[in-house]
Amino acid sequence: MDRYTVISADCHAGADLLDYRPYLEAKYHDDFDAWAATYVNPYEDLLADTADRNWNSARRVAELEADGIVAEVVFPNTIPPFFPSASLMAPAPSQAEYEQRWAGLRAHNRWLADFCAQVPGRRAGVAQILLNDPAEAVREVRRTKEAGLTGGILLPGAPPGSGIPELYSQVYDPLWAVCEELDVPVNHHGGSASPPLGDEPAARAVFMVETTWFSHRALWHLVFGGAFRRHPGLKLVLTEQGSGWIPGVVEMLDYYHGRLVAAAARASTAESRFGAGLAASMGNSPSEVWRDNCYVGASFMRPHEVPLRDRIGLDKIMWGSDYPHDEGTAPYSREGLRIAYAGLPPEEIAAMVGGNAARVYGFDLAALDRVAAGVGPTVGEIAEPLEEVPPDATSPAFAPGGSVRVW
């Protein structure tokens, strides 16, 4: 092995606004034309001259290869039809808007299937769904799987006050069942579950502090809700939420699981009611569920997280560049890998930067190895500790103190 085969488990793409129109059912075209005529995009990066990295396939392949990356898991980024902003949230405020937004997500999924097909075997597209009607979500899972999207589904956020059932609810069992049946990963991306906080400076700061925690909630909802007991083949991937939190949170969940199950087995106490029925409903302990069913899309894994890799699980970690976001490692992904992984055994690095993602998302690793033979970072290159951060790097991977090694 001379070069690493790097698969980014966290990239983003989407069509330019008007390019979604051909992918919409015809009955929505007039509504789309009226909506698009007055729509103002709220995101500066989607108005810049670099916005076409979201849909320009040739530019994208060239920039990723220059960055040492040969394949990608593709999450959404641009605005699908009829959405006011990003489409990661579950609810829609009215039945009419709900129907239109479903149409918009189906259009995105159709576009994404075509986008992935432009470079066969190198893009695993993540399909979008809504949770308001699980039966409709099941139909879209089946359709997108048949259409060739191999990245699984994006589980929308269900923030407090959203009005839809909490993620632990068994109302979603048909969705978990079809994902298990078709081997479709359930992805939950960071930033998708926070309640609205307003736009004051304090609110924006609080959002940054809390947003990953709200995204973590999907883990304990599905664990304590028993989704993995009823669907033992279900795969959950938590992406762009960091990875250093995982060992402590899983230990905390084990503590509450053991405490509540034990309390329920004793004579009536103030705490016994909290654990009533828990052992039978959820099955395995949280740490066993993590071991058997869960993975982390560890975007730009930082050096302080790397010593935890054995506690997280070496077979669980999937590095991501977050291309084309400003906080991503591009065009310095090689440096991002060096600052995190220099000095580690090559077989461990190979698993975290590509092997694990190939297994979870079904990439043909042998085929990608042939591409990586020409563009992948060399083993010797990544083994060299990074002494100087590129001065124009914008990723948190290079934040001050990030190069401190504690192993």
Q: Domain holding 332: CATH number?
A: 3.20.20.140
How large is the average pLDDT for residues 265-290?
Answer: 89
299's enclosing H/E stretch is strand 294-299
Closest among 156, 173, 20 to 88, alpha carbons compared: 156
Examine the pLDDT at 338 and tell me if it is beyond 60.
Answer: yes
With respect to residue 137, please indicate whether it lies within any of the assigned structural domains: yes
* Domain extent for 10: 6-398
pLDDT for the residue numbered 92: 66
The mean predicted confidence, pLDDT, of the chain is 93
20 CB-near residues (< 8 Å, 6+ apart): 32, 80, 81, 104, 107, 108, 111
Task: Report the percentage of the chain scoring pLDDT > 70.
Answer: 96
With respect to residue 327, please indicate whether it lies within any of the assigned structural domains: yes
Bond from prior residue into 324 cis (ω within 30 degrees of 0): yes
- Rounded to the nearest angstrom, the gap between the alpha carbon of residue 21 and the centroid of all alpha carbons in its chain is 26
Query: Dihedral (C-alpha) 237, 180, 131, 150: value to the nearest 10 degrees?
Result: 60
The Cα–Cα gap between 67 and 170 comes to 43
Question: Residue 130: phi, psi to the nearest 5?
Answer: -115, 160
Q: Who wins on pLDDT, 251 or 195? A: 251
pLDDT for the residue numbered 372: 98
Q: Who wins on pLDDT, 278 or 119? A: 119
Identity of the residue numbered 7: I
How large is the average pLDDT for residues 232-250?
Answer: 97
Query: Dihedral (C-alpha) 14, 172, 183, 191: value to the nearest 10 degrees?
Result: 40
With respect to residue 1, please indicate whether it lies within any of the assigned structural domains: no
With respect to residue 406, please indicate whether it lies within any of the assigned structural domains: no
Examine the pLDDT at 216 and tell me if it is beyond 90.
Answer: yes
With respect to residue 403, please indicate whether it lies within any of the assigned structural domains: no
Task: Report the percentage of the chain scoring pLDDT > 90.
Answer: 81
The half-sphere exposure of 11 on its side-chain side, counting CA atoms within 13 A, is: 31
How large is the average pLDDT for residues 376-392?
Answer: 96
With respect to residue 62, please indicate whether it lies within any of the assigned structural domains: yes
With respect to residue 29, please indicate whether it lies within any of the assigned structural domains: yes
Q: How many domains does the chain have?
A: 1
With respect to residue 407, please indicate whether it lies within any of the assigned structural domains: no
Q: Which string of b and e fits 95-118 if b means at least 16 CB within 10 Å?
A: eeebebbbbbbbbbbbbbbebbee
